Amino acid sequence: MQEKDLGADLRSVLITKQEIDARLAELAAKIDAGYEGKDLLLVGVLKGAVMVMADLARALATPVTMDWMAISSYGAGTQSSGVVRILKDLDTDIKDKHVLIVEDIIDSGLTLSWLLSNLGSREPASLEIMTLLRKPEAAKVDIDVKWVGFDIPSEFVVGYGLDYGEKYRNLPFIGTLAPHVYGG
Ligand code: PRP
């Protein structure tokens, strides 16, 4: 799916595919340096992190394994509540492993805050976070994020894994939608 396929639904392109690729290459080099000589397990959070996980993993020189979690927050609409339940747990035991959580976006931070405490209790050797996007103005909890792709304004974004009503995940860029899409 490309910009032209969105037609009038697209308001603006916030981050292009080229910008995402360049930033992921920079972060991959830093992550490689951070895990030199270590085995690394990437944990992706479904579904939004699928694209960033796929591209980051391929940009890394470090040999990695990958696992996935599906979690659901009990919350109304587009806001996460911080009350989380596991829909699909990891297949692997992460005890004594170096774990890097790969996220598409940190909004309030409530989801990751819960995930950090859940995975932390499984006694990994290390536990860090990489997120493609972060909305600093929306933060409700303070989270120590080691690698951030882009800090963005607090507006609703889609594409590159991020959805609105499950659509737009297969856009190669991050964009904002026209008000009429939301019924405005
Ligand atoms: C998104 C994103 C994070 C969470 C961030 O997932 O992938 O997991 O919201 O929000 P927070 O910082 O306010 O907690 P979402 O619940 O939209 O699920 P999805 O990835 O399947 O689209």
Query: Ligand 1 centroid vs 111 CA: distance in angstroms?
Result: 7
DSSP letters along 70-118, please? Answer: EEEE--STT---S-EEEEE--SS--TT-EEEEEEEEESSSHHHHHHHHH
Of the residues 107, 142, 151, 163, only one is catalytic, namely: 107
User: Can 107 be counted among the known catalytic residues?
Assistant: yes
Site to probe by mutation for ligand 1, drawn from 80, 148, 163, 170 as the one with most ligand atoms within 8 Å of Cβ, is 80
Name the DSSP letter for residue 41. E
Name the pairing type of β-strands 174-177 and 10-15. Answer: antiparallel
What are the angstrom distances between the C-alpha of 170 and each of 1, 28, 154, 175? Answer: 6, 22, 22, 12
Taking CB atoms and a 6 Å cutoff, what residues make up the pocket around ligand 1?
45-48, 73, 80, 103-112, 163
Assessment of whether the complete model's pTM goes beyond 0.85: yes
Query: Ligand 1 centroid vs 105 CA: distance in angstroms?
Result: 7
Whose CA is closest to atom 7 on ligand 1? Answer: 48
The residue ranges of every structural domain in the chain are 17-153
Q: Which fold has domain 17-153?
A: Rossmann fold (3.40.50)
The ligand 1 atom at the shortest distance from the C-alpha of residue 78 is 17
The ligand 1 atom at the shortest distance from the C-alpha of residue 104 is 7
Per-residue pLDDT of the chain (184 residues; tens, 9 = 90+): 888 888 888 899 999 999 999 999 999 999 999 999 999 999 999 999 999 999 999 999 999 999 999 998 765 555 666 678 899 999 999 999 999 999 999 999 999 999 999 999 999 999 999 999 999 998 899 999 999 999 999 999 999 999 999 999 999 999 999 889 887 6
Query: Ligand 1 centroid vs 37 CA: distance in angstroms?
Result: 32
